[in-house]
Amino acid sequence: MPRVVTATAARSLADPVLERLSARLATVGVIGLGYVGLPLAAATARAGFSTVGFDSDPDKPRILSSGRSYIEAVSSESLACLVASRQFRATDDFAELADCDLVVICVPTPLTPQRAPDLSYVRATARTVARHLQRGQIVVLESTSYPGTTREVVKPILEATGLRSGTDFFLGYSPEREDPGNADFSSTAIPRVVAGDGPEATRMVEAFYGAVVDRLVVVSSLDTAEAVKITENVFRAVNIALVNELKVVFDRMGLDVWEVIEAAKTKPFGYMPFYPGPGLGGHCIPIDPFYLTWRSREFDIPTRFIELAGEINTAMPRYVVDKLEEALDRRLSKSLGRARILVIGLAYKKNISDVRESPSLELIALLADRGAHVDFHDPHVPRIPHTRRHADLHGRQSVAFDASTVAAYHAVLIATDHDCIDYGLLLTHAKLVIDTRNACARAGFQSDRIVKA
């Protein structure tokens, strides 16, 4: 006979956990201590919850346990205080998940080489959680994915234990909204979209995040919450593709797209400025839209805007390299295959050290493929970490940034517009500058040696 659990019984299981959340007596486990998980773990610890961070890389718990942070959003000083007060600790022993009242999954959701969703990290983590799943526990997925992932992928893995969502344990989804390098919006200041698998799960997820962040947005279902994050990133990807296409068109017309955008954004309604660049970077915008295009095929719905945006943004590094090659030939009578190129900025956006999906890596690879000697300088990235797509670049070190170094290259390519770069020194000593971010003009410098790309 199937076991029947009434709503009253589910509430009786939920109520003690809700009381522990309210009293800050609950233990929170955060799986994945990267750019999403570590800021969340620090925020939950600061909110008064005993927080345990889990990561399969043993080096991360070891580093964090010493009070040192490798994520800019969490300072070593604040982390050391949380470790010293025993509000936060890190481990690679996943058996300790059994002692947590609430488990949050913050693991990567990359693409396969065929641009299909790679949910291997989510599945593996869900199986790990299932091995230690306890009655009354709350499990929340934060990893970005297509609508239906929590319900169709995570839930069956957890229910294979014989426990049932909404009666024995409680399942939720809350998409991460981290913006690395944005000092105006910390983890707790960004409104949180939350949803649960049923009313009791929703109550519990709402109680947890309501104790950690300033504002909650509760939506009707897990799938809706997943769609919110996908929509945010599709919106940005499509609009960035639009201005990247306008950049190419206006350049052919002899117009400066940056000047056009600056003038257009003076309109107080009906326009929102987006800016072109050498390609898309970061974990979200280059990847997440393709999760929706993949999912939409199951419903026989084409996603032409999203796929076209992906084509345009993916083509930008080659456009930049072509502009560089043309400028070298026309201005210096130098072939790209015999040129020395200095790339400024390895991070995917300014003032951070995050290189995930950075277009700078693709630029370096493309330039090297065409025979150029390529170096990079990034004050935030001393050496290239291991990456899935450009493993051959692993370990290359940032070169010095001084007058003699800059002068030794035939061209300097500004890929990331870090504020700390001395653009005056760069322009004084560079033979040719390819500026993909309008960095020189924004710093107040103009020169006939600058080519915008």
Where are the extended beta strands (E) located within 142-237? Answer: 170-173, 192-196, 216-218
- Number of other residues whose CB lies within 10 A of the CB of residue 356: 21
Where are the extended beta strands (E) located within 303-443? Answer: 340-344, 373-377, 411-414, 433-435
- Could you tell me which of 150, 121, 147 has the C-alpha nearest to residue 36? 121
pLDDT higher than 80, residue 196: yes
Q: Are 70 and 63 contacting, i.e. CB atoms less than 8 angstroms apart?
A: yes
Q: What is the mean pLDDT of residues 132-151?
A: 97
Q: Which two tokens stand for residue 115?
A: 């641009």
pLDDT of residue 85: 96
Question: pTM for the full model?
Answer: 0.91
pLDDT higher than 80, residue 3: no
Q: How do residues 53-90 score in pLDDT, each as one tens digit?
A: 999 999 999 999 999 999 988 999 999 999 999 999 99
Q: How do residues 17-58 score in pLDDT, each as one tens digit?
A: 999 999 999 999 999 999 999 999 999 999 999 999 999 999
Give CA 329 to chain center in angstroms.
37
How many angstroms separate the Cα of 95 from the Cα of each of 133, 143, 273, 352? 10, 22, 48, 34
Tokens 């935030």 belong to residue? 380
Strand-pair category, 433-435 with 192-196: unpaired
pLDDT of residue 7: 59
pLDDT higher than 70, residue 134: yes
| From 81, 100, 106, 284, active-site residue | 284
Tokens 């456009």 belong to residue? 319
pLDDT higher than 50, residue 1: no
Q: How do residues 369-396 score in pLDDT, each as one tens digit?
A: 999 999 999 999 999 999 988 999 999 9
How many angstroms separate the Cα of 374 from the Cα of each of 83, 343, 361? 42, 7, 11
Q: Is 284 a catalytic residue?
A: yes
- Could you tell me which of 45, 309, 427 has the C-alpha nearest to residue 443? 427
- Could you tell me which of 307, 322, 315, 229 has the C-alpha nearest to residue 276? 315
Mean pLDDT over the full length of the chain: 95
Helix locations, 219-376, DSSP H: 222-252, 257-264, 288-296, 304-327, 359-369
Domains of the chain: 7-220 (3.40.50.720), 235-452 (3.40.50.720)
For the chain, give the percent of residues with pLDDT over 90. Answer: 91
